[in-house]
Structure 1
Amino acid sequence: MTPRPRAIFFWATGVLAYIVAVFHRQSLGVAGIEAAARLDVGAAGLSILAMCQLLVYAGMQVPVGVLVDRLGSKRMLIVGALVMAGGELVFALAEGLLPGIAGRTLIGCGDAMTFISVIRLVRLSFPAHRNPLMVQLTGLLGQLGAIASAVPLIHSLHTYGWTPTFLIAAVVGVVSAFLLITVLRDTLPQVVGEPPSLKAAWAEPGTRLGMWTHAATQCSAAAFLLLWGYPFLVQGQGLTPSTAGVLLTTLTLCGMVCGPLLGYLAGRFPFHRSRMVFVVIGTTAGTWTVVLLWPGRAPLWLLVVLMAVLAANGPGSMIGFDYARTFNPATRIGAATGIVNGGGFVASILVIALIGVTLDLRGDNGLDAFRWALATQYPIWALGAFQVIRYRRKARRNLLAAPRTNP
């Protein structure tokens, strides 16, 4: 097998592991109502489950990034797959909040090791001008896991029940680990040169530009898919579970269309990447404003529009990883990617928490309560946009002072 097909083959193996990781990550999103009943928790309790998973995920991004730079992608992907399988096993048997937290924490821990490892495969295996598109394709294909965690998981929960559904999810994780052990090889040896440096990655304004880009563009869709979208559609908008599942799948499918387009545009017009970011933030905030101010329940067509707009959030957040690649050498790409990814998920945790706390303060899960809860997203968008402008200026000044690569 020649070098290029070999690189694509190993990348595809890593992407398969990422698809499984996304499935594990978002399996709570459509199980929120069942989880509340099984674990005997309210809105705040559900927020705690999602927050613990994401806190571990976000908190591990930087150390995992450093480890990926030192140990390579294969080892980290295998460990991540096995840890997530263990988390699904614990969650399948959980009957209270604490065991539920333990299961979701393990899933967050294993998930943290996956995406960064695949991004390293991309960075070291493909030429620079192909990187934005390959990163978007990675995110796009990963959404197949989100599709599997929507309608199929809802059907399994209603047909087979809680424990069999999540035991099957654990088996899927074990199969993923076996494939990684038998098939994957790191496509290139560790780069020799500048040693991995977390301090240097953080000091680079381009890394923080990527972090705030990821935070501002990802948080709304992440909170929607990971926890609050399904309850909002079913309890707030009065849709049937099957219709809500179709809408969540629509969001994912639209994201799979947006990803390659944004990847191509980011690679073709690198000086306009921040404008793409502002378009994503602006259209997301604007569409949510229409939905939240709509008198009564929003019509189905408007909810479909919301799904299409939220679909651009994930691909938009991938531009943050392209900033990390642009402004950092290969030897610290794991650390820089970890910083970018961690920032995005910290923002997502904050939005999930604010929505849950607001719902509990309102004392119900009706439409008006969801309106107040979802309005807590606006300060996050505003702060993220401000920081993108701030670090864009700093990154451009550094490039002009010491040019080393295309922006």
Structure 2
Amino acid sequence: MRSRTGSRSNRIGLSMRPSSLLRRSEGALVFACFAAAYVLSYALRTINAVIAPELIADMRLSNADLGLLSSAYFLAFAAMQLPVGQWLDRRGVRRVETVLLLIAAAGALVFALAGSAATLWLGRALIGAGVSACLMASYTAYRRWFPTARQSQLSVWMLVAGSGGALMTTLPVQAVLPWLGWRGVFLVMAGLLLLSALALYRGLARVERRSARLARGAERRSALADPVDIAADIAAASATVSATGSGAGSATDGMTDGATNSVGSPTNGVDRATAAAQVPAATMAGGYRALLRHPAFVRVLPFGLLNQAGFMAVQTLWVGPWLVDVLGFGPDRTAQILFLFNIALLAGYLLLGWLAPRRARDPVESARLVMVGAGLTLVLQAAIVAWTAPAAWLLWPLLAMCASTLSLILSTLSLSFPAAVAGRANTTYNLLVFGGSFLIQWGLGVAIDLFRDAGLPQADAFRAALGGLLGLQLVGYLWYALVPRLWRRVAG
């Protein structure tokens, strides 16, 4: 649907007048509620990078213990993704997100009061389970309540909010640690999670009720439609991708909104394949296996498991110990560098927020941007492994800025599926990424201890572990870059 409001929103950036469903003030309220929850989610995800020295000293943890403890967040987060996807689609984002935030608050309380490593692990796992829907609930709500043209930009602004959460856990947390200690910090986080849950539950009630009424009307209108076999439909979409993909721009095969471009016509053959996969929601239930065979998922699986998950694992824990053990910085200087690291990540997201309205409808440019950004992250990680002088800290903010481009994948993947099952599509991908983050974050700690036990100094053990991760990420990058070309060769 086109309107003067929609045209104006393209000119002024993040418009909060998204569609006829939401008024301007309601659009702003929806974004604010989800953004606040995601700020806390991201803060809790990254906080261990700052408090790691205190945790190690207080609880006598090894590198493997620290990796396992921090990765409990990702394990619980990943385990929740499939049920969360079902709940978001069937129960509504407001109720699901509220209950989960209460679980996260309970986890922060358990973590703050823990007396053993096992209790810390339990608290961390509860936090991960509780915040497991913070981003996906927002994407699902935006998919239902905002127009397609705003999806990429909204997703980027959510990541900007998340970067604000990461900033909270650098200099601010380091500043209050002498007074509150890490236990006091988690008590404060528990209180903030409770406030966020209350704001979301009360603030979105009217919007969700109106959305439910409109959805029931849409279901009645589509009741006469014939059911579609999702597996057969996705197979047909895959065949269409093979038959129609062409040019370097096919790098985004099956990943963009295939309905229309800015002038209302199909963007290319690949997007028509994506449109073919827009199957009725009822046929999607239990269709996770078919979903994973969708061309969009086939392409991003190794990339998400290795590249995106690998950056997340390093960002949320190991960058802090690297600055201490490899570059020799103290806690205060480490917190300052982490602050700059997250400022750079925020700057990258802001740049994407400006680029998204201009590039989101062009699959060629979107794919090139992801590939350039991911390629630069590999180059920078290689330089980080090789260069151990104190000035090497400058490479970390550059890495963060380049890695911000990885966020474009999820919003485009979401648009490959119908709005009613967007929760399941998003959370299936999130399961893979967070499951990979759990394995990589824990695995890095185990590898560091193994290399150190083999006789390497602590700094060299860190370098060997990160170098191994770099090799795996090169495989993921090559898969992402080359799979579309393989499809074209098979079709040709």
TM-score if structure 2 supplies the norm length? 0.75
Say whether 1:248 aligns with 2:338.
Answer: yes
Structure 2 match to 1:45: 65
CA distance in 1, matches of 2:83, 2:380: 37
Amino acid at match of 1:135: S
C-alpha distance in 2 between matches for 1:206 and 1:358: 32
Match of 2:468 in 1: 376
SS in 2 for 1:262: helix
Structure 2 residue identity aligned to 1:17: A
CA spacing shift, 1:220–1:348, aligned 2, 3 Å: same
* Correspondence for 1:267: 360
2:380 alignment partner in structure 1? 287
Please tell me whether residue 23 in structure 1 is matched to residue 43 in structure 2: yes
Q: Deviations over 1:294-334 (max 9, x none)?
A: 2xx3233x322322222332x32322212322311112111
Q: Which amino acid aligns with 1:204?
A: H
Amino acid at match of 2:479: Q
Over 3 Å counting, the alpha-carbon distance change for 1:365 and 1:111 in structure 2 is farther
Cα deviation digits, residues 28-73 of structure 1 (max 9, x gap): 2211121122222210101111222211111211221121111111
Cα offset for 1:389?
Answer: 3.6
Contact 2:100 2:129 in 1 (8 A): yes
In structure 2, give the amino acid aligned to 1:292: V
Correspondence 1:223 to 2:313: yes
Give the secondary-structure state (helix, strand or coil) at the position aligned to 1:328: coil
Instruction: Work out the CA distance in 2 between the residues paired with 1:333 and 1:213.
Output: 20
Match for residue 54 of structure 2 among 10, 29, 34: 34
Distance in structure 2 (CA, Å) of the matches to 1:210 and 1:339 = 12
Give 1:391 deviation, angstroms.
5.2
CA separation in 2, counterparts of 1:67 and 1:386? 35
| Structure 2 residue identity aligned to 1:24 | L
Residue 258 of structure 2 is matched in structure 1 by: none
Which digits, 9 at most, give the CA deviation of each residue in 1:335-368, with x for residues without a partner? 1101221222222223212321121111477321
Matched-pair contact (CA < 8 Å) for 2:152–2:360: yes
Aligned AA (1:309): L
* 1:298 matched residue in structure 2: 389
Indicate how the Cα distance of structure 1 residues 275 and 212 shifts in structure 2: closer, same or farther if over 3 A, else same. Answer: farther
Give the aligned partner of residue 343 of structure 1.
Answer: 432
Query: Runs (4+) of structure 1 moved beyond 4 Å?
Result: 210-213, 390-397
Matches within 5 A, 1:159-198: 159-185=179-205, 186-187=207-208, 188-189=211-212, 190=215, 192=219, 193-195=280-282, 196-197=284-285, 198=287
Contact 2:303 2:473 in 1 (8 A): no
Cα distance in 1, alignment partners of residues 41 and 438 from structure 2 = 18
1:309 and 2:399 are equivalent in the alignment: yes
Q: Which amino acid aligns with 1:83?
A: I
Q: Is the 8 A contact 2:45 2:316 kept in 1?
A: yes
Q: Give the partner amino acid of 2:51.
A: A
Range 201-210 or range 82-91, more displaced: 201-210
RMSD, aligned CA: 2.5
More moved, 149-158 vs 134-143: 149-158
Question: Are residues 1:104 and 2:104 paired?
Answer: no
What code does the residue aligned with 2:294 have?
A: E
In the other structure, the counterpart of 1:147 is 167
Counterpart of 1:14 in 2: which secondary structure? helix
2 CA distance for matches of 1:389 and 1:285? Answer: 14
Whether the aligned pair in 2 keeps the contact of 1:10 and 1:184 (CA below 8 Å) is: yes
Match of 1:318 among 395, 402, 407: 407
Structure 2: segments with no counterpart, 5+ residues: 1-16, 220-279
1:135-168, Cα deviation, whole Å (9 max, x unpaired):
0111111211111111212222222223222111
Over 3 Å counting, the alpha-carbon distance change for 1:167 and 1:174 in structure 2 is: same
Maintained 8 Å contact 2:310/2:440: yes
- Please give the alpha-carbon distance, in whole angstroms, between the structure 1 residues aligned to 2:94 and 2:421: 17
CA contact (8 A) 1:351 1:376 kept: no
Q: Give the partner amino acid of 1:253.
A: I
Amino acid at match of 1:299: P
Equivalent pairs counted in the alignment come to 395
Counterpart position of 2:417: 328
Q: Distance in 2 between matches of 1:156 and 1:394?
A: 54
CA distance in 1, matches of 2:336, 2:343: 10
- Provide the identity percentage: 26
CA contact (8 A) 1:262 1:316 kept: yes
Deviations 1:102-143 (A, max 9, x none): 000001101212111011122122221221111011111121
Give SS of 1:318's match.
helix
User: Would you say 1:204 and 2:291 are equivalent positions?
Assistant: no
Of 133, 139, 147, which aligns to 1:113? 133
Give ranges in structure 1 of 5+ residues lacking alignment: 401-407
1:271-316 Cα shifts (integer Å, max 9, x gaps): 232222222222111112112212xx3233x322322222332x32
Q: Distance in 1 between matches of 2:140 and 2:65?
A: 35
Q: Are residues 325 and 371 of structure 1, via their aligned partners in 2, closer, same or farther at CA, if it must alter by over 3 Å? A: same
In 2: Cα distance, 1:92 partner to 1:365 partner: 33
Relative to structure 1, the CA distance from residue 276 to residue 395 in structure 2 (aligned partners, 3 Å threshold; closer, same or farther) is farther
Q: 1:275 to 1:215 in 2, by over 3 A?
A: farther
Query: Helix, strand or coil: the match of 2:143?
Result: helix
2:478 aligned with 1:386: yes
Which one is further off, 318-327 or 181-190? 181-190
Show the counterpart of 2:33. 13
1:96 & 1:365 partners in 2: Cα distance? 29
| Residues 281 and 381, structure 1, Cα contact 8 Å, conserved in 2 | no
